[in-house]
């Protein structure tokens, strides 16, 4: 009984799925796919088979036509978007280049959270940074807490590296067409609007230059995100430095900056820093300095 049921199910499946009958031999047709035999010259049976096959082919043809029409519509929409996107991207890049000389904040709050994940050690710095007349920064440390190794080997070293970077001519490290090649990649939603993403590649391998991506706000040309890695290691003890910097925009200005830095070292493993910066006015500086200042290590 089971064999008979299996045979019937197989025959039904063959009739609906297989369409490869061979020429009749000795009064039988044979399915080229599964090898089943069917009586030859059974007109009704073959007519049903042919009808089902024709219907199946017609349905497949209609589905194929519908899919081709859908793909063609999507392709036309994509072509129209691609034709429009470079114009927006070029305009954003022009706005960025016209305002590429970004003036640093005269006074700002800085919070640095640093860690050595392999050693499970962390540290914290809270400070007010003021821009000195000669262009260098002066820090008023409000709090320096956490593990000593993190404070000395990560936070202090970062501040020294930042000081050395400030001595480089600003034009030599700025993300401008003079120092970088820009290649438009895509348009992305950044939460508030749209940004044009460019791949940036340094024209020369120099200190302070990164290879990665730059996102520009479509309306203002302001940088929304910079991410990549330094093309030249600052030390033989450092294998790789990856940087991601996000700017929060409000009414066409940068209201805060969040920077993530990952440093792969040869001695203490990976070091991670998260730096949050915000511009301050004089009253804001006093308020920030008084917040949690008691008990902070100087």
Three-state helix/strand/coil letters over 203-241: CCCCCCCEEEEEEEECCCCCEEEEEEEECCCCCCCEEEE
The residues with which 254 forms a beta bridge, in sequence order, are 249
pLDDT per residue rounded down to tens, the chain (298 residues):
545 656 665 666 566 555 555 545 555 556 766 766 666 544 444 444 444 544 454 445 444 444 444 444 444 444 444 445 688 899 999 999 887 556 678 899 999 999 999 999 999 999 999 987 665 778 899 999 999 999 998 999 899 888 887 777 777 888 988 899 999 999 988 767 889 999 999 999 888 899 999 999 998 999 999 999 999 887 888 889 999 999 998 888 889 999 999 999 888 889 999 999 999 976 565 565 666 555 455 4
Q: Are 129 and 110 in contact (CB under 8 A)?
A: yes
Residues 6+ apart with CB under 8 A from 111: 124, 125, 126, 275, 276
The residues with which 149 forms a beta bridge, in sequence order, are none
Phi, psi at residue 283, to the nearest 5°? -65, -40
- Which three-class secondary structure state does DSSP give residue 156? helix
Q: pTM higher than 0.85, yes or no?
A: no
Phi, psi at residue 55, to the nearest 5°? -60, -45
Q: Are 89 and 198 in contact (CB under 8 A)?
A: yes
Tracing tokens 């438009």 back to the chain, one arrives at 184
pLDDT of residue 208: 85
Nearest to 144 by CA among 132, 154, 134, 131: 154
Q: Are 210 and 222 in contact (CB under 8 A)?
A: no
- Which three-class secondary structure state does DSSP give residue 115? strand
Residues 165 and 160: their CA atoms lie apart, in Å, by 9
Cα–Cα–Cα angle for 176, 179, 181, nearest 5°? 80
| Dihedral angle of Cα 76, 80, 82, 86, to the nearest 10 degrees | 170
Residues 50 and 62: their CA atoms lie apart, in Å, by 18
Phi, psi at residue 224, to the nearest 5°? -95, -40
- Which three-class secondary structure state does DSSP give residue 42? coil
Tracing tokens 């064999």 back to the chain, one arrives at 3
Nearest to 263 by CA among 276, 249, 244: 244
pLDDT of residue 258: 96
Residues 185 and 225: their CA atoms lie apart, in Å, by 14
Nearest to 37 by CA among 57, 7, 63, 66: 7
- Which three-class secondary structure state does DSSP give residue 144? strand
Q: Are 149 and 127 in contact (CB under 8 A)?
A: no
- H-helix or E-strand containing 100? none
DSSP letter assigned to residue 103:
P
């Amino acid at each position: 009984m089971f064999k008979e049921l299996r045979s019937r199910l197989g025959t039904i499946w063959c009739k609906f799925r297989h369409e490869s009958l061979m020429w009749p031999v000795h009064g039988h047709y044979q399915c080229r796919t599964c090898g089943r035999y069917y009586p030859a010259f059974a007109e009704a049976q073959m007519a049903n088979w042919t009808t089902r096959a024709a219907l199946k082919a017609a349905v497949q043809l209609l589905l194929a036509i519908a899919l081709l029409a859908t793909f063609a519509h999507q392709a036309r929409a994509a072509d129209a978007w691609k034709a429009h996107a470079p114009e927006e991207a070029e305009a954003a890049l022009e706005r960025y280049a016209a305002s590429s000389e970004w003036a640093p904040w005269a006074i700002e709050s800085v919070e640095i959270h640093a860690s050595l994940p392999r050693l499970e050690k962390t540290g914290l710095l809270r400070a007010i940074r003021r821009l000195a007349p000669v262009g260098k920064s002066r820090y008023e440390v409000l709090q320096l807490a956490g593990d000593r190794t993190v404070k000395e080997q990560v936070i202090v070293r970062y501040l020294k590296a930042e000081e050395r970077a400030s001595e480089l001519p600003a034009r030599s490290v700025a993300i401008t067409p003079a120092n970088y090649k820009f290649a438009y990649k895509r348009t992305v939603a950044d939460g508030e609007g749209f940004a044009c993403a460019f791949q940036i590649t340094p024209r020369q391998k120099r200190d302070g230059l990164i290879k990665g991506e730059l996102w520009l706000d479509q309306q203002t040309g302001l940088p929304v995100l910079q991410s990549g890695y330094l093309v030249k290691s600052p030390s033989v003890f450092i294998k790789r430095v990856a940087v991601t910097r996000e700017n929060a925009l409000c009414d066409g200005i940068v209201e805060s900056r969040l920077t993530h830095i990952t440093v792969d070292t040869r001695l203490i493993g990976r070091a991670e820093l998260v730096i949050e910066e915000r511009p301050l006015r004089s009253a804001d500086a006093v308020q920030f300095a008084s917040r949690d200042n008691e008990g902070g290590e100087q």
